[in-house]
Amino acid sequence: MEKIGFIGTGVMGTGIIKNLLGAGYSVAVYNRTQAHADAVIAAGATWVADPARLTEQVDVVMTMVGFPEDVTAVYFGEQGILSAVRPGQVLIDLTTSKPALAKEIAQAAAKKQAIALDAPVSGGDIGAAKGTLTVMVGGPESTYQAMRPLFQAMGQQINRFGAAGQGQATKMANQIMVAGTMTGLTEMLVYAKAAGLDLALVLRTVGGGAAANWSLTNYGPRILAGDYTPGFFAKHFLKDLRIALDEAQALGIELPATAQAAKLYQLLVERDKHGEDGTQALVKLWWPTAQD
């Protein structure tokens, strides 16, 4: 069984690493802040001091960091993955990032006779913890098939969409859909409260009909409980929406609803400074204080 190196022990990474350990994989980890890796080290992962040394010790390197610039640093930096990669190694970026960057990593890996997959995931902290993530893969078919057992340790819906960058393109489609469900959930609750409705009963009722969706089921109860802890950071979702809009512009299409969602999340993150909250904190634009 392959030895895995995992870079990024945040909300999502922690759940994935624990599932890899549970499936019997040996996992070495690196994170910019070592203390944030305490939970996975306690679960059986081993700490390595930098990405290059981690790469030297494992068969497969997986990364899940915050922003495209973080991906660039961890792959192309002085002590980055690509400084130590060897022929035959597999590099898998789980970060939601730019399709063009995924292609750049794949090309750089190929020059060193290694293989890179872009494999962004969806499902939030709950999916990461339960091992029920959706995995969207770009890269060679043969490598995808070889890595399926690893993906199956962390996810349920696992599909390849084509060459390098196509996994990231699929994740953009996913985030466009999520933008609609998050704004719909938020405005539904704002309207229902203004109309004097029982919000918990509204959630149960609309969740049983045509309005049912993942955001409503998983984030609606958190909002009613005043729980804005991040299953997925609002600042990272804003980043994703901006990438999606840039990609849409490059394709010559307009996404007005997604553009409006990005404006709302920009207000939440940059004006109101709620970037460290979960995406469900969008309701704070209307309800800045706790609701009864």
Q: Which two tokens stand for residue 84?
A: 């130590």
Backbone angles phi, psi at 63, to 5 degrees: -130, 140
Helix (H, G, I), strand (E, B) or coil at 137: strand
Tell me the C-alpha distance between 131 and 235, whole Å.
24
Half-sphere exposure for 202 (CA within 13 Å, toward CB): 19
Which two three-digit tokens encode residue 157?
A: 């819906």
Q: Which helix (H) or strand (E) element contains residue 61? A: strand 60-63
Of the chain, the end-to-end C-alpha distance in Å amounts to 51
How far from chain centre, in Å, is Cα 193? 31
**Rg of the chain over CA atoms, in angstroms?**
19
Burial code of 116-152, b = ≥16 C-beta within 10 A, e = fewer? bbbbbbbbbbebbbebebbbbbbbbeebbeebeebbe
β-pairing verdict for 3-7 and 90-93: unpaired
Which two structure tokens, joined as six digits, stand for 257? 């609803």
Which residues are CB-neighbours of 13 under 8 A, at least 6 positions away? 6, 31, 40, 64, 94, 128
User: What's the distance, CA 108 to chain centroid?
Assistant: 23
Q: Which of 18, 171, 235, 239 is catalytic?
A: 171
Active site residue 193: no
Active site residues: 171
